[in-house]
Amino acid sequence: MEDQNIMYFQYHTEEDYPIYLGLVGSGDDGFADSFSSLITQMNFREMSGNEIDLAKLELAKNPSARMLKIKPASYKVERQIESAAQSDRFGLESILPKEGYKVYRYKGHALLVYSYAAEVWECGVTESFGENEEGIFAARTVLNRFLSWALAPLGVIGFWGVPVKEGLVVLKAKESQGEAVFLDFNKRKVLSMDGVKSIPSRLKILRLDNKLKNKNIKMTTEELMSFLSVHTSFFDPEGHSLPIRQLLQAASRRGEGLIHPRESFQNRKEALT
């Protein structure tokens, strides 16, 4: 594939994660150009020249390196994205296991083919991907699914939610508008749309409650583990893998789970109005 039609990005470059995006179609159709602002918001930085060559070498030699190539869906792929499927009754997202690889679909927006044995994954997207509120939510969700799969072998786990000074508020994907927060216990870092910061010595993990007033309730380690396992951005039809279960245990041991009054929490959008 000719590189002049691809824009390359790296995730949180300052932390040197070997996780990359390739946006195919940065020419006349303007697909990648219009989509790149959302990519940047999620802390992917565009690479150029020698950086691209080094990334390709990293992909060739590092078994944990991953690149997701995103391109406009072909007619055949778009039909698969739009078509009705038996899995639709479970929601907009589904994963179909195949021989040696898996096919992830976000209905109406994207089809992503991935395998842990391959360093380059492919994703076909519709015109609505990253456009308007629904398309932006879909794009964030798909990219955070990719990050969750790609970062897991590096000891990083993600949760739907938003960062706060003391840690993070864990939410449903819809509540967080597709935003996720990742915890890297090896590097002691919190990764989010706000950037990178150190994991606080007392990491607080908040669960919002509609009925609670003027106080926090501490969760047991078991309660926190159960809560986090439901709200992780890692998704697999076979359930959580052993590494993911170990990361969930690490998060529930390291974090202080608190049930917090929803009425006293101000999300990012509310804070700006």
Tell me how far apart the alpha carbons of residues 205 and 30 are, in angstroms, rounded to a whole number. 40
Task: Give the pLDDT confidence of 94-140 residue by residue, as tens digits.
Answer: 999 999 999 999 999 999 999 999 999 999 999 989 988 999 999 99
In the predicted model, is pLDDT for residue 63 greater than 70? Answer: yes
Segment (H or E) for 181: strand 180-184
Tell me how far apart the alpha carbons of residues 142 and 140 are, in angstroms, rounded to a whole number. 6
* Mean pLDDT on 53-67: 96
3-state secondary structure of 198: strand
State pTM to two decimals: 0.93
3-state secondary structure of 57: helix
